[in-house]
Structure 1
Amino acid sequence: MIAIMPASIDSTADAPATRDLIAGLEKGLQVIEAFDQERARLTIAEVAQRTGLTRAAARRYLITLVHLGYMRHENKLFSLTPMVLRLGQSYLHSARLPRIVQPLLYRLAYSLEEAASAGVLDHDDLVCVAAVSAGRLVSATLQPGTRVPAYCTANGRVLLASLPQDEVERFLERARPEQMTGHTIVDKERLALEIGRARAQGYALVDQELELGLRTIAVPLRNFRGETVAAINVSVHAARIAADSMVERCLPALLKIQVEMSALL
């Protein structure tokens, strides 16, 4: 996946008229998004199945993407090329949020000597837009451009908590939580409680729900109008810092950055 624009979960609001949409561009992006970590190489038939296109249409889109350099073709299998990264980098280089948050994220990470990252919602996923490791490689998911489910991450939880309640309810209705680890909360009633807890206390603490060993605490980032536009977190290895200690050690620093960011956004 490469679309990383901040977005509300409710994608039906202010939908454009069909006549204003370019169907070919939409379908071409769907073809690119058909490839992921589990499906790095696909046949024409597999792309057609994943996108809902006919086999003939999928073939034309794939050939076009090969011609443009976004795809390679070998032994009847297609795969993405590094050129696709240009699409995500265009956002990271042009968007205001990553440029503003990166210096403060750097200061946060090195003051605590822990990894830190910032993320935004893209439909039901959390997408990382900035990250600093401070010399501690805690998780490969803490890299700009990575996409993970929002329901089992601290950044995702505080962003979900910032949505109107009716949007949260719609998210929970369509969510299909997977047991990422033995700690992952998959019961929707418990998820609703955790989202409500994050809303009430102003932060979220997620303990090894995305990856074993990954413990994360996050707060929302709000602009000067009080609107939540992103979230920032501190991530540690569970073997080094207890969950209770994270609140005491990391939350004050996160809240300080939160205040500074609100004056800049």
Structure 2
Amino acid sequence: MNTENDVPAKRDMIAGLEKGLQVIEAFDQERGRLSIAEVAERTGLTRAAARRYLITLTHLGYMRHENKLFSLTPMVLRLGQSYLHSARLPRLAQPLLYRLAYSVGEAASVGVLDHDQLVCVAAVSAGQLVSATLQPGTRVPAWCTANGRMLLASLPLDQLDAFLARVVPEQITEHTIVGKERLALEIARARSQGYALVDQELELGLRTMAVPLKNFRGEVVAAMNISVHAARMPLDQMVERCLPALIKMQVELNALL
């Protein structure tokens, strides 16, 4: 997470680029097509400014325009691919994820913390379609996922306290932990035992177990998990069967980071 010391001076910022990216980010799974007025409302821009950004992005190929509604084009994927192709973490993690996933016959993924969300940067299904969230580029709440909870457990206590103060957990499933005291206890449990186990808090039927990944300086930079369908594996069996495989790959990947 950024600190105040990381914030650049205003004179060094290109406001147009920042606002253009905000326009792209205004589109999501629930809002795939937006009008100029809706983009303006979601970004805080005036309608005139939102129109100019949308027209520019359409000209550049990042948007399409039909019946007064705008939507993203596949060209936007180039932005994410640039990260996946250039960043060390996905390139190093992917082959080890293959080994991990196929060794246990379950899906595996690596994620990083981006503000209060978990972003998947590498994933292998091993033939098991467990969840649509287990693919590179997907974003989910950090507090109700094993990778996210493990990364929250690695934060300095002041940053964790700030997170718990601002987060508003919602009841996604009947198993979702929404009480902040209970959530803090689960994060503390993950920190003390070295792994996080989340049972159907993000999706019914989805159980995940995660361990932290550290670089050569001992800093936690990501988390790696195994995901199973609840009908295939009970919690105690998941710890017994999957944790040793996770730890083995954790040690190997830590040596590369």
Which band: TM-score by shorter chain? Answer: over 0.9
Deviation, 1:244, is 1.3
Which residue type is aligned with residue 247 of structure 2?
L
Query: Match of 1:258?
Result: 250
Query: Match of 1:221?
Result: 213
Which residue type is aligned with residue 184 of structure 1?
T
Q: Which has the higher helix share?
A: 2
Describe the SS at the equivalent of 1:53. coil
**Cα deviation per residue 1:218-237 (whole Å; 9 max; x = unaligned)?**
00001121100100000000
Query: Match of 1:245?
Result: 237
Runs of 4+ in 1 over 4 A off after TM superposition: none
Within the candidate set 137, 142, 152, 1:160 is matched to 152
Describe the SS at the equivalent of 2:6. coil
The percentage of counterpart residues that share the same residue type is 82
Deviation, 1:11, is 4.8
Deviation, 1:176, is 1.4
Describe the SS at the equivalent of 2:256. coil
2:29 and 2:193 mapped to 1: Cα distance?
35
Q: How does 1:1-265 map to 2 (within 5 A)?
A: 8=1, 10-265=2-257
Describe the SS at the equivalent of 1:130. strand
Taking structure 1 as the reference length, what is the TM-score of the superposition? 0.96
Which residue type is aligned with residue 29 of structure 1?
L
Which residue type is aligned with residue 192 of structure 1?
A
Which residue type is aligned with residue 136 of structure 1?
Q
Higher relative contact order (CA 8 A, sep 6+): 1
Taking structure 2 as the reference length, what is the TM-score of the superposition? 0.99
CA contact (8 A) 1:11 1:123 kept: no
| Number of equivalences | 257
Deviation, 1:186, is 1.1
CA contact (8 A) 1:207 1:216 kept: yes
Unaligned segments of structure 1, at least 5 residues:
1-7
Structure 1 vs Structure 2 CA RMSD: 0.8
Deviation, 1:43, is 0.5
Unaligned segments of structure 2, at least 5 residues:
none
Describe the SS at the equivalent of 1:135. coil
Which residue type is aligned with residue 208 of structure 1?
Q
